[in-house]
A and B are shown apart, each in its own frame.
Chain A
Amino acid sequence: MNFSPTGRAKKSSHAALNLSSMIDVTFLLLIYFIITTVIATPEDALIPALKAEKSSTTSQDNFEPQIIHVDTVNSVPVYQLGDRSFSTREQLAIVLEKLPKEPGVIFRVGNNLSVGFAIAAIQEARNAGFEKVTYVPKLP
């Protein structure tokens, strides 16, 4: 009778879990998410007030908001305040800084410009500290 020695340790059976397939799937998932994830560009918004264009012109006294025309002159987009014209937003920013803020500012935007040019004016008004910024689309 061949008994196994008592000192001999029993072979403990461990359930072997083969992880290699799971690692493959995990890496595939990771690669999938890396490729398909689109990091969205952060967006914000400008919130100008809206007004319909009226035929009557507003008087230019101290309590009325300043009206800045955003239009093209000889096919060149410009910002016009009175008889002064500015072709860049930096020039507009300098002028906006000097204007009184409380009455606000109205931008009358023409139809032959790029949206970026018009929106730049609204942004500059916000940067200058205007709380009342109104966008008036010009009728064709």
Chain B
Amino acid sequence: MPFKRSQSRNNVPVVEMTPMIDIVFLLIIFFMVAAQFAQQAKVELSLPSEFGEQKVTEQASMLIINITLNGELILDESKGVITRNELNAQLESLGQDGILWEDVTIRADRNASTEALNDVLSLLSKHGLKATKIATEIP
């Protein structure tokens, strides 16, 4: 009587790792690509919560003037607070390169005093800028 030799295999459950690795890599690529990495470090401010002009133009600004809650002026977070005279000098040097109003953006904290904003805008007006971009946070 031919008996089949019992094939006592140890059936070890195998977890297929390949699809999981694919998903994990896709997730990594998603977080790398979909997240908006700021080109330059943005100063943490509570911008006015407004919809803005809602225009499509995404022209990067050459100069971003941040006005903090205390009325301090910051151009670059790594360089810290600057004075009005330093901002004036910066605008003069940009003026020699032919600065346009599109090149300047003001990011002012919504609870900051308009005194600082008015000061900066007066300075911009003095340098011949006919308009300005005031950043808002889309609600």
A34, B31: Cβ atoms under 8 Å? yes
Closest to A40 in B: B36
* Interface presence of A99 (CB below 8 A): no
On chain A, the residues within 8 Å of B28 by CB distance are: 26, 29-30, 33
Complex CA–CA separation, A41 to B47 (angstroms): 10
How many contacts A-B (CB < 8 Å)?
A: 149
Q: Digitize A35-54: 1 where CB-to-B-CB distance is under 8 Å, 0 elsewhere.
A: 00111111111111111100
- Number of A residues near B (Cβ < 8 Å) is 46
* Interface presence of B121 (CB below 8 A): yes
B111, A30: Cβ atoms under 8 Å? no
B121, A50: Cβ atoms under 8 Å? yes
* Segment 43-93 of A: residues with Cβ below 8 Å from B: 43-52, 70
On chain B, the residues within 8 Å of A38 by CB distance are: 35, 38
Complex CA–CA separation, A43 to B42 (angstroms): 11
A44, B52: Cβ atoms under 8 Å? yes
B110, A30: Cβ atoms under 8 Å? no
* Interface presence of B3 (CB below 8 A): no
- Interface residues of chain B, those whose CB is within 8 Å of chain A, are 17, 20-21, 24-25, 27-28, 31-32, 35-38, 42, 47-54, 67, 101, 105, 108-115, 117-119, 121-122, 124-126, 129-138
Given contacts A33-B35, A43-B135, 20 further A-B contacts (CB under 8 A): A19-B17, A22-B21, A30-B27, A34-B31, A40-B36, A43-B138, A45-B105, A46-B53, A47-B134, A50-B124, A50-B129, A52-B126, A109-B114, A113-B114, A115-B108, A115-B109, A118-B117, A119-B48, A123-B136, A137-B114
- Interface residues of chain A, those whose CB is within 8 Å of chain B, are 19, 22-23, 26-27, 29-30, 33-34, 37-52, 70, 109-120, 122-123, 126, 135, 137-140
